[in-house]
Chains A and B, each alone.
Chain A
């Protein structure tokens, strides 16, 4: 049996003492705290009583009521004139002011990751379209509206979820954990890495040839069972069907030739400089029916 040396014991006691003496920061709320991991409906009531004030559909639109906190944190509530714990929800900590941050507070880090199986949703709503023209086959746009001319937005509220998952169809609205999984550490949502920053979804000339079914280019979406590792997944062939076709256009080949002449050339037809200055991937050379090259090998 292992024995703990006196030296190690002292160190252990010191660590424990420091941990116990450190004041708890009540201005921070974490769902990962053991006692905050009860069923979601313990604190969050759905729909919030006054949801009509801020939402067009029944939803959780505000922080839990005081009862949710006071049941355990009564001492912290009456600690001073401006109890730090109030600042979790309230932008002003004063008994005479009940103004709260927007729910959820956009300045706080995300504590939950979203679980969303694209494949199942494709199965269910793949043909979702209106009974009358315009016949919209782009069922993805139910959730992914336009964000900029180039990129689509990810859903930011429960609007499109509750159309089907309000009740009966699991995960239902009251089963938050069905979609919201506690993340290992709080995080800030990163923007997806963009490769073809100049692509315009509604573009493609006068005929708007880019307006196609989403899965025509995003070819892996119908097999994605979760959001983890999900990439935009647009293969170069989706672009070069038109942009590098004999007798039509040679947009890709022209830029590869430009690199042959000047290895510092920046590919600009599709890319911004951050990508356009890199070595073109092997897939691009394959389309142009040429062996791949590295810029450093070009004299």
Chain B
């Protein structure tokens, strides 16, 4: 639809982690907007799906949440990266790079899978 790509299963958590890492403690809305902006508005993000993903990360101990005030003085829940989260981000980013590299080689016209 209108030329946008859906967010792939499983990648949302990684994007959220990366966003929090680069911007510091951030609320859900901020994370969502940032993901959209970073993707150059190509990704179509259903904001609602972000919250269960954040909950999962929180349960796994990758991020912690705390209520605070936004730049516009709105009460919002801020998510902060933990040390475990940072490690997870590094690991998953590496993995992701490997996967994309392999796929890229696989799909490149000159590449021979053998």
A and B found bound together: no
